[in-house]
Structure 1
Amino acid sequence: MARLLKFIAAAATAAALVSPLARAADPYPAKPIELTVAFQPGGGTDSMARAFADAARPYLSQPIVVINKAGASGAIGLGYVANSPADGYKMAMVFAELLVIPYLNLGKVTYEDFQPIARFTSDPSSITVRADAPWKTVEEFLAYAKANPGKVTVSNAGNGSIPQLAAASLGEKIGTSFSHVPYLGSAPAILGLLGGQVDATFVAYGELKAHVESGKLRTLAVMGDKRLPGLDNVPTIKEKGIDLTSYVWRGLAVPKNTPPQVVNKLREVAAKVANEPAFKDALAKQNLTFSYADAPEFRSQMATQSAGYQKLIPTLKLN
């Protein structure tokens, strides 16, 4: 009996020594992590993904590889990740349109198919016109739109994009409608305005900031909770008595049911990256407004906004 007990004790000791070594030999990540961008290369979401991949290198034993899977207003790339194995080796750049895709029948993927990791940016939609437009104030613009339903042409980043919803929501609030002109992304929508193809755009201010500062465009109002730094003379539409906000945000998520230890590892990495000056600088160069939120806050935001869109979208006249 004593000999048997000694054998068991020796085996337990050996297991205790081998187990940590085995774990150390195969930590997460054990292979490169794929980060999917649901758009073509270029643009804010793609740029942020690549900036994150670069900034995360010191904190992971394996690289993050960015791939692009565009189409169906982002539904193809998002669906690709949502339906991948929940093992931490497929991540997605998620964006505000994720919340509206199912309500516009653009795809079946929803925010509930993902486990959020972190939000990194948040920018309010804007009401922006050319510098030579006849409207000098948001009051003048809205008065004209109300007096001429459907006449004001407004560019957006595509059917179902946040700029389109922002314009449609504002029209519903003030009792008018706009003529929506979809483009393949925010950059083309801005070029459409610069080229005189449309009267206005509701693209997020950060994405057209350079053109405002150069004097080519004029932002009449922003659709945020407060005025933007450096744009102190431009009001929010809330200040004009219109209770409406619209934000374009971007963040990181993995398929739901990803193991908690993997999610927590990625949250730790995301928090460290969020404190990296080089990462913040990369976002600033893309005119993206840094706004970090950890997973619980990010999920709460998505749930609240999704419920709002579920009620709102059926009431809007979307082209």
Structure 2
Amino acid sequence: KTYIYHCNSEFYLEPLKEMLEEKEIYGLAVLDRKEATIALLKGKRVEILKTLTSGVPGKHKAGGQSQRRFDRLIELAAHEFLKRIGEHMNEAFLSIPDLKGIIIGGPGHTKEDFVKGDYLHHEVKKKIITTVDTSYTGEFGIREVIDKSMDVLTEIDVMREKKLVQRFLTELINEDGLAAYGEEEVRNYLQMGAVEVLLLSEDLRAKRATYQCPSCNYKIDLTIKREEPRECPKCNDQMKIVDSKDLIDDLVEIAETVGSEVEIISTETEEGIQLLKAFGGMGAILRYRP
């Protein structure tokens, strides 16, 4: 393991910031001809990035030539506003390489015109997951977009989990496949920094306990399903649990230390059930095999 020493007048916080960053980031936008709000959904947090207003005039009561001229001005102003929205979305979302997808909402048909039109960079446009109807724009509209998209986002998460477990199984059946299972093997690879993705079942129920002998101070870390008395192998005295944490928390802490990705796999899919029942709720996709 390599340790880096930084000599500076300020605290070096980059590694800590990286650990705190949310892995799941979605782009959100809610818009009509009057207003647009661009935001990010980071895990369960919403970050409003930009609110725009258009200045597009309302309906004109005059008729004839004046009406047609005014309608053209309205359409031109609306087009320019959509261009401005697109520019701000491009600026906001192109800078996020791990953006999972984009959801666009709003009242009326403006959002569909925006999505169909040539307002977004192609890399941004291809990340649009869906559009949703909302009653509001602004921050209330963003909240409405999230509420109405939960089923879609859940389905995306489920599909991602299925693909990860399928990748794990494919690696496992290959002779030189980069996969491991069983706590001892996974833990060893994890501590070496060889794990790319750690797969843990949400139904993994166990604790990592530290037993210590009060007589000779012998210590041992064990994974247990329930607290049980243990005899010290050195002096045969009764050992006591001096520290205990959920097994998932223990493994996640190690993964964060070595930069391994962690995926908590639900048991809502066949693959998730297989991970739990056939592999003890734990598996790893490796970067390399040491």
- TM-score, normalized by the shorter chain, greater than 0.5: no
Which structure shows the higher helix fraction?
Answer: 1
Q: More relative contact order in 1 or in 2 (CA 8 Å, sep 6+)?
A: 1
Larger radius of gyration: 2
The answer to which structure has the higher strand fraction is 2
TM-score (norm 2): 0.27
